Amino acid sequence: ARPVVAVVGRPNVGKSTLVNRVLGRREAVVEDVPGVTRDRVAYDAEWSGRRFTLVDTGGWEVDATGIHLRVAEQAEVAVELADAVMFVVDATVGATDTDDAVVKLLRRSGKPVILVANKVDDQRTEAEAAMLWSFGLGEPYPVSALHGRGSGDVLDALMAVL
Ligand code: GDP
Ligand code: MG
């Protein structure tokens, strides 16, 4: 069976945009409003001649007071099913409490994690991405899912752990 890669992270960090970037087509639903991806959705993806299943996540309610709990729960299910995880953080926002909650469960899972520092649209934001070394998840890959910047490098890194 082909390996499964889960894309997890807070609402609005650009998970679905990243999925579309990897797929090379606009299939995952991207919205300016947090919480739009209703369920886990699996797509057939390919990079460097290797095929894998890419799982976009979402599904939590926007109005939930315990939003970071819900994000963590959603991530937990996806991570259990996955062989590797792309953890997406908005580098322009930096680390939040919700991110910290996800980091904890990722470490517990023991699954390989690729840390995607998204929304690094230009070189100026790369310093923000470097702040994410503090998660202890290894190298943060600066990416602009919107424009494609850095997406090849992050996929190469993913292939190395699959
Ligand atoms: P999700 O909730 O994590 O799936 O996030 P989406 O993919 O739906 O994106 C949320 C918003 O962030 C949308 O308005 C996207 O256009 C925007 N976005 C996603 N990636 C980037 C990026 O690399 N740079 C910038 N500037 N905006 C982005
Ligand atoms: Mg989404």
CATH number for 120: 3.40.50.300
Query: Ligand 1 in contact with 35 (CB < 6 A)?
Result: no
Quick one: what percent of the chain has pLDDT higher than 70?
Answer: 83
Question: 110: alpha, beta or left, given left = phi > 0 and alpha = psi -120 to 50?
Answer: left
Taking the CA of 15 as reference, the closest ligand is 1
Q: Domain range for residue 97? A: 4-161
Query: Looking at the 3D structure of the chain, how many domains does it have?
Result: 1
Q: Is the dihedral of CA 146, 152, 158, 162 positive or negative?
A: positive
Of 16 and 64, the structure prediction assigns the larger pLDDT to 16
ipTM field: 0.99
Q: How high is the pLDDT of residue 39?
A: 55
Of the two residues 116 and 70, the one the predictor is more confident about is 116
How far, in Å, from the CA of 1 to the mean position of ligand 1?
Answer: 30
Cα(8)–Cα(116) distance, integer angstroms:
10
Question: Does 63 score more than 50 pLDDT?
Answer: no
Atom of ligand 1 nearest to the CA of 11: 2
Q: Residues whose CB is under 5 A from ligand 2 (ion)?
A: 15-16, 37, 58
Residue of 7, 10, 15, 17 best suited for mutating to test ligand 1, as the one with most atoms within 8 Å of CB: 17
Residue 14 assigned ligand-binding role = yes
What integer is the mean pLDDT of 63-90? 77
Lowest-pLDDT choice from 32-46, 55-69, 78-92: 55-69
Q: How much is the mean pLDDT over the chain?
A: 86
Higher pLDDT, 81 or 148: 148
Q: What is the DSSP letter of 31?
A: -
Q: Are strands 84-90 and 4-8 parallel, antiparallel or unpaired?
A: parallel
Q: Which pLDDT value is given to residue 59? A: 46
**Ligand 1 center from residue 88 Cα (angstroms):** 11
Nearest CA to ligand 1 atom 12: 14
The better pLDDT of the pair 67, 159 is held by 159
As a whole number of angstroms, the distance between CA 96 and CA 64 comes to 17
Establish whether 118 is an annotated binding residue.
yes
- CA separation for the pair 140, 128 (Å, rounded): 10
